[in-house]
């Protein structure tokens, strides 16, 4: 050690050190430890505390995990995953008004393991869902199942009210539900789906794949025309105490169905989850003997084939007996009648003789061309096939002439009438809106001249025949009555009628066909039999008086020549005036 260092170091008592330079133990016990020694001892203490806390923490985690496992066992089971497909496509009318749409709604399920008192839970739920089967619901909840469907497609109010009950074990799943804003107005046509949005009836069923893919479907229906037609039919059913009614409005040039109404109808919102049966749609699914409306086609047959002209006569002096049956007239003239008179007076006898003159082959060929021997080409799965005679005998030829012995749908009748008055061209009817730019497949069934003659004859029926009650002033309406007895066993029930009237207007250039049929209408005895002319024709008149202005077709001004003029009473259609379009 240097001298400077020796001088700087403090002197220690000699007794405090041993020979090695360390203080003896007695000295250590009385002297304060150095800082490095203190830090060492604190580290040991810290390690001990850390180990203790680690042991405590491990124990706490173990206890917590046990609790979480037990609690997790009582959590509600997750609802089944919703389908990954997109929302079902909308259905609209021709102008885009919504007829059917899918909206997200809450559906209710229960967890049997979380509901301590199933009976109480069911009773409380019934306070919100008043149609709930309390006993069945309580039985379903009294189980260990984790997922129990209770009600699908809740309204927002129901969702809120059930949630407010605070019942443990009630859960909700969001899924799509089909809504029909127009309700009864379009239900028979649009149809409905089940709770999984599978189409079960109408357009929903016929175009299920298209709609399920998310595509919007625009129908040919005009909702305003549909509402007007339904209103008139509801009034008529009440007025004549009828069992039901069918109404159609067809646009001739395009074949588009602007309105299709059937009564009775239904409200798709009132159908229960188990109510999956498609209601009967008589407009396309029902096939009926159409009565004297078929004289349109029988008369066109003899004119088109050249069998007779309008002024040629047939013997209607007495009934016809054939195969044990009698063909007679309701209000017979019982004389020789011209073709025009047979049509205007609706003579069954004259029509039968005309049909026999034309023959079964020609008759069958024309009915085939008019689409009356095959189902209407309407894209509805409910569309029925007509009932045609087999074999097609002479008796069938005669009865078909006045609408018996063959049964077709109202849609077929309307489309065939449109072909006869629409320049003789058959256009397939459609329930879908057509693109005006796309051509329409047509088939000529009668000549333009025959079509012109038939328009004149149908106008005569309204002016001075059985259809006078259909005469809507200013619209040059033409048409034909039909009164058919409904079948009963092997015969007919004279007290159960299908009374109809099929019309077109304006008859110098027809744009629309209107068909109204009343099922089993009634009249007071003093008013006579409830024929098509008495009960259906007035409904057609009211429909046309409202349809014309709705579609922009103005009435013929009073100053314009009327088809009623005496100079036009001759049977030659060339005497008609060339009416200018007043629109």
DSSP assignment letter at 536: I
Mark the ranges of the chain whose per-residue pLDDT is less than 70.
Answer: 1-86, 273, 557-583
Residue 330's pLDDT is: 83
Of the residues 107, 292, 347, 451, which is catalytic? Answer: 292
Residue 31's pLDDT is: 42
The answer to whether the bond into 391 is cis (omega within 30° of 0) is yes
pLDDT in tens, 510-519: 999 999 999 9
Q: What's the Cα-to-Cα distance from 63 to each of 49, 55, 67, 73, 127, rounded to whole Å?
A: 21, 13, 6, 16, 42
Residue 270's pLDDT is: 83
Residue 176's pLDDT is: 87
Residue 15's pLDDT is: 40
- How many Å separate Cα 264 from the centre of its chain? 15
DSSP assignment letter at 571: S
Core vs surface per residue 30-39: b (16+ CB within 10 A) or e: eeeeeeeeee
Rounded CA-CA distance 463/470 in Å is: 9
End-to-end CA distance of the chain: 132
**Is 467 within 8 Å of 461 (Cβ atoms)?**
yes
pLDDT in tens, 72-99: 344 444 444 444 446 899 999 999 999 9
Rounded CA-CA distance 565/576 in Å is: 9
Rounded CA-CA distance 134/138 in Å is: 6
- Sole residue written with tokens 């039901």: 244
Residue 503's pLDDT is: 98
Residue 242's pLDDT is: 97
Residue 49's pLDDT is: 55
Tell me how crowded residue 416 is: count the other CB atoms within 10 A of its CB.
28
- How many Å separate Cα 568 from the centre of its chain? 45
Beta partners for residue 109, in sequence order: 149, 171
Instruction: Considering only the C-alpha atoms of the chain, give the largest distance between any 2 of them, rounded to a whole number of Å.
Output: 169
pTM, two decimals, is: 0.79
Residue 52's pLDDT is: 55
Q: 432 is written with which tokens? A: 């879908």
State the chain's mean pLDDT as an integer: 84
Residue 86's pLDDT is: 63
Beta partners for residue 523, in sequence order: none
Q: At residue 182, what are phi and psi to the nearest 5 degrees?
A: -90, 0
Q: What domains can be seen in the chain, in order of their start residue? A: 91-218 (3.90.1310.10), 231-575 (3.40.710.10)
Residue 43's pLDDT is: 56
Rounded CA-CA distance 226/211 in Å is: 23
292 belongs to the catalytic site: yes
């Amino acid at each position: 050690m240097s001298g400077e260092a020796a001088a700087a170091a403090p002197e220690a008592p000699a007794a405090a050190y041993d020979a090695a330079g360390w203080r003896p133990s007695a000295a250590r016990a009385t002297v304060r430890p150095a800082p490095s020694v203190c830090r060492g001892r604190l580290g040991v203490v810290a390690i001990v505390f850390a180990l203790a806390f680690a042991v405590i923490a491990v124990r706490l985690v173990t206890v917590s995990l046990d609790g979480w496992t037990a609690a997790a066992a009582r959590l509600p089971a997750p609802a089944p995953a919703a389908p990954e497909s997109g929302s079902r496509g909308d259905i609209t009318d021709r102008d885009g008004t919504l007829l059917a749409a899918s909206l997200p709604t809450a559906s209710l399920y229960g967890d049997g393991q979380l509901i301590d008192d199933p009976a109480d839970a069911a009773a409380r739920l019934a306070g919100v869902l008043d149609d709930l089967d309390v006993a069945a619901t309580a039985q379903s909840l009294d189980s260990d199942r984790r997922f129990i469907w209770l009600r699908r497609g809740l309204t927002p109010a129901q969702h809120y009210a059930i949630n407010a009950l605070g019942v443990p074990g009630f859960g909700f799943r969001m899924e799509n539900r089909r809504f029909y804003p127009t309700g009864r107005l379009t239900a028979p046509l649009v149809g409905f789906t089940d709770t999984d949005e599978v189409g079960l009836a109408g357009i929903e069923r016929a175009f299920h794949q298209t709609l399920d893919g998310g595509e919007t479907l625009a129908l040919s229906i005009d909702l305003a025309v549909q509402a007007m037609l339904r209103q008139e039919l509801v009034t008529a059913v009440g007025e004549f105490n009828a069992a039901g009614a069918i109404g159609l409005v067809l646009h001739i040039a395009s074949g588009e169905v602007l309105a299709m109404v059937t009564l009775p109808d239904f409200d798709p919102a009132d159908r229960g989850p188990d109510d999956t049966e498609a209601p009967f749609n008589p407009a396309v699914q029902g096939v009926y003997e159409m009565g004297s409306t078929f004289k349109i086609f029988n008369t066109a047959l003899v004119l088109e084939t050249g069998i007779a002209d309008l002024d040629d006569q047939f013997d209607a002096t007495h009934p016809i007996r054939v195969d044990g049956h009698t063909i007679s007239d309701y209000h017979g003239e019982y004389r020789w009648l011209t073709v025009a008179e047979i049509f205007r007076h609706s003579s069954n006898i004259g029509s039968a003789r005309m049909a026999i003159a034309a023959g079964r082959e020609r008759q069958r060929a024309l009915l085939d061309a008019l689409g009356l021997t095959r189902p209407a080409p309407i894209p509805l799965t409910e569309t029925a096939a007509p009932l045609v005679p087999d074999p097609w005998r002479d008796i069938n030829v005669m009865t078909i002439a006045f609408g018996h012995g063959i049964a077709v749908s109202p849609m077929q009748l309307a489309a065939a009438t449109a072909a006869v008055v629409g320049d003789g061209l058959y256009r397939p009817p459609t329930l879908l809106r057509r693109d005006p730019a796309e051509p329409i497949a047509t088939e000529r069934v009668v000549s333009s001249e025959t079509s012109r003659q038939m328009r004149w004859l149908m106008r005569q029926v309204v002016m001075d025949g059985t259809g006078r009650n259909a005469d809507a002033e200013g619209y040059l309406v033409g048409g034909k009555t039909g009164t058919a007895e409904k079948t009963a066993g092997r015969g007919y029930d004279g007290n159960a009628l299908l009374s109809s009237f099929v019309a077109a207007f304006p008859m110098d250039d027809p744009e629309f066909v209107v068909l109204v049929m009343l099922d089993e209408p009634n009249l007071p005895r003093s008013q006579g039999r409830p024929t098509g002319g008495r009960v259906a024709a007035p409904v057609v008149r009211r429909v046309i008086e409202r349809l014309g202005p709705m579609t922009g077709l103005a009435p013929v001004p009073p100053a314009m020549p009327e088809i009623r003029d005496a100079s036009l009473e001759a049977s030659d259609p060339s005497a008609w005036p060339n009416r200018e379009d007043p629109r």
